[in-house]
Amino acid sequence: MKIAVLFGGNSSERDVSIASGIQVTKSLKEAGHNVLAVDTFRGVLSDTEVQALLSKGIAPEPPTAHDLRVVKSKT
């Protein structure tokens, strides 16, 4: 089954949303589904980007406006 998982955004809950979305993406892929990971702030993520986020975890503080600008500039 083809499934899109949406997560991220630009709120103070961004990191929690990413962590949850990436875990859902991982579980669905392990179950054999064709999964498209979409950060609603940055766009579609590659498998390499998904793996990098899996290893990163949740930051102790929400992202600042500057952090979000940096993320957006990488897209």
Q: What is the C-alpha to C-alpha distance for residues 60 and 72, in angstroms, rounded to an integer? A: 21
State the pTM of this model: 0.71
Q: How many domains does the chain have?
A: 1
Output 12 or 61, whichever has higher pLDDT: 12
Instruction: Tell me the C-alpha to C-alpha distance, in Å, between residue 70 and each of 3, 6, 32, 62, 63.
Output: 28, 20, 34, 14, 10
Output 54 or 30, whichever has higher pLDDT: 30
- CATH number for the domain spanning 7: value is 3.40.50
> Sheet containing 2-7: which strands, arranged edge to edge?
2-7, 34-39, 43-44
Query: Do 59 and 27 touch, CB atoms closer than 8 A?
Result: no
The pLDDT > 90 percentage for the chain reads 45
**pLDDT tens per residue across span 22-53:** 999 999 999 999 999 999 998 999 989 888 88
Q: Which domain holds residue 17?
A: 2-73
